Amino acid sequence: MAKKIAKSYIDRVKRENAKRDKKTITSIENAADEIYKKIMRKGKPMLRFPVRSLSNVSYDKRKGYLEIGKARKERTLTVNTVKGFAQTLRMMGLSRELVQTNDFATKRDVYYQSKNWAEAKFSEQSESDTVMDDIEALFSVDDVSREQLRFVPDEHGGAVAGELVVLDPDLDTGEVERIDCTRFGSGAYSIPSSVEHLSFETKAKFVLAIETGGIFQRLQSHKFWKTADCILVSMAGVPTRSTRRFIRRLSDQIKIPVYAFVDCDPYGISNIYRTLKVGSGNAAHINRFFCVPSASYLGVTPQDIIDYDLPTHPLKDVDIKRAKDALKNDPFFQSKRQWREALEQLLKMGVRAEQQSLAMWGLNYVIETYLPAKLANSKKFLP
C-alpha cells in the first residue's frame, strides 16, 4: 500500500518535474530562436530584461509580495555588448544542458564551467553572477525560477525541527525518504538548496520562523515544538532563498500560519521579516516564488519592549536611517498602517531590543511566559 502511494507520489513529482523542465527548455529555446531569426533577417537581435530597481517594484496587497513592474530594458547586440551577449547565450545553453541531464550547478560551478567557453569565459565569478542574475530576470517573465534553470545557490538553507515529516523522493531508486523532523535529537533537519520536489506531512498548528540560532536551540532542546505543537525554522539572519521557498511551500501545502520571531530593531523588521514575507526589493523578479505572504510578526514588537520591560540598546544611526527609509520608500510598510505606527513608535523610543533580551527574566522565560502569552493572542501580531 505504502509502496503504491510512494509510486504515485514519485510519478507525480516526475510529471511535475517533466512539465517544469519542458517549460524551462521551451523558454530557453524560444529566446534563442528569436535571436536566431532576427540574425537570419540580418537584423540586430536584442534581449529584453525587466528593470531591476526599486523604481520598478510595487506591492500588491492581493498577491502579497513585492512585484516587479512592467519596465523593460532592451539590450541590443552591438560591438560593445557582443561579449556579454555571447556569455548570456552560452549560459542559457548550459542551463538547457543541465535540465536535459537532470543536473544542477552552483554559481561557482557555472563560473568554472565557463572556462570551457574559450574567449567567452569569465575572469571573475562576479561577472558570471551578473549574467546569471540577468538570465534569471529574463526568464522570470515566463515564470521560470533560477532553480528551474538548474542554477542553485551555494548558501546553506536554514534548520528545521518539530512536528513535520518531509517527503523527499529519490527519483533514481523510486523510493520516498520520510524525514521525521522530531527525530533529530539535539540536532535539526537542514533545508536543501532545492525544495521544489519536497512534500510534507504534519499536524502542527503553525510554523515559527526564528531569527537567531540561539533562540532556536533553546526552543529545540526544550522541545517547545512538542508543547506548542509547531514547526521551528531557524533563519539565521535574512532567510536564504531556499529557506523562504521551503516555508512558502510548507504554508501553501498544509495551510498553517507562519509566525516570525525576530529582534526588535529596524534590521529584524525591515530586512529579515519583510524579506520573508514579501521578498526582497532588489531581486523583485523572483519574489513571487520566494516569499511567504501568509507570515505575520509575532515579536519582538516595540510594544513588547514596554510591556515586558526589556533591556535595550540605543538605535544606531544606521538603524534610524533604515527605519526612515522603510517608512519613506518601502511599498510594503507604506501600505500597512500598523507597521507605520510600530516603526514610528520604535523611532520615538530610540531603542532596540534583541530576542534574547528576554533572558533577563530567566533563561526559559521565553518558553514559559513570553511565547505562550503571545501565542494566546495571535490577533495582535503585526501584519
Partner 1 sequence: MPRKKPQASRTQAASKPTAKKKVSKKKASKKSTAKKTGTAASRRQGGLFDSEPTANSDRPKKKTAKKTAKKSIRKSASTGQGDMAIAEKMAAKQKDISVSEFFAKNRHLLGFDSPARALLTTVREAVDNSLDACEEASVLPELIIDVRATESTQHVVTIRDNGPGIVREQLPRIFARLLYGSKFHSRKQTRGQQGIGISAAGMYGTLTTGKPMRVTSRTSRRKPAVELVLAIDMAKNQPVVKKESEVEVEWAHGTEVQIELEGTYKKGKHSIDSFLDQVSLANPHVKIVYSNPIDEEPITWERVSKVLPDPPNEILPHPHGVELGILMQMMKETSSRTVSGFLCTEFCRVTPNVVKKVSDETEGLGKKIDTDRHPKRLSSADVKILHKGIEATRMMAPPTNCLSPIGEELMAKTLRRNFDPELVITVTRQPSVYRGNPFQVEAGIAWGGELPGDDLASIFRFANRVPLQYEQGACAITQSIVGTPWKNYEIQQARGALPTGPLAVLVHIASVWVPFTSESKKAVASYDEILKEMRLAIMEAGRKLAIHLRKKRRLADAERKKDYIKTYIPQIGIALQDILTLSDTQRTKAEGNLSEVLERSRKM
Stretch of 24-32, 67-75, 230-238, 370-378 lying at the interface with partner 1 (CB under 8 A): 24-32
User: Are 114 and 87 in contact, with CB atoms under 8 Å apart?
Assistant: yes
Site track for partner 1 across 31-70, x = CB under 8 A: -xx-xx--xx-xxx--------------------------
* Number of residues located near partner 1, criterion CB under 8 A: 29
User: Are 191 and 204 in contact, with CB atoms under 8 Å apart?
Assistant: no
CB of 97 to partner 1, least distance (A): 8
Q: Is 9 among the residues known to form the active site?
A: no
Select 110 or 300, whichever has its Cβ closest to partner 1. Answer: 110
Select 144 or 351, whichever has its Cβ closest to partner 1. Answer: 144
- Residue from 4, 62, 70, 79 binding partner 1 (CB under 8 A): 79
Name 4's Cβ contacts closer than 8 Å, sequence gap at least 6.
none
The reply on whether position 73 binds partner 1 by CB under 8 A is no
Element (H, E) at 29: helix 2-40
CB of 141 to partner 1, least distance (A): 18
**d(C-alpha 302, C-alpha 283), whole Å:** 28
Cell of 334: 507604506
Instruction: Give the SS3 label for residue 262.
Output: coil
Q: Choosing from 36, 59, 112, 308, which is the catalytic residue? A: 112
CB of 133 to partner 1, least distance (A): 18
User: Which 8-state DSSP code applies to residue 158?
Assistant: -
Give the length of the chain.
383
Stretch of 12-20, 25-33, 138-146, 205-213 lying at the interface with partner 1 (CB under 8 A): 25-33
Element (H, E) at 106: strand 105-106
Select 33 or 155, whichever has its Cβ closest to partner 1. Answer: 33
User: Which 8-state DSSP code applies to residue 104?
Assistant: -
Strands (E), 98-219: 105-106, 151-152, 159-162, 165-170, 175-180, 189-190, 199-201, 206-210
- C-alpha triplet 284, 379, 206: angle, nearest 5°: 65
CB of 194 to partner 1, least distance (A): 23
Residue ranges in 116-135 that form contacts with partner 1 under rule CB under 8 A: 117-120
- Residue from 83, 183, 226, 313 binding partner 1 (CB under 8 A): 83
Element (H, E) at 278: helix 274-278
Which sequence positions are flagged as catalytic? 112
Note the residues at the interface with partner 1 (CB under 8 A). Answer: 28-29, 32-33, 35-36, 39-40, 42-44, 77-79, 82-83, 85-87, 89-90, 92-93, 96-97, 117-120
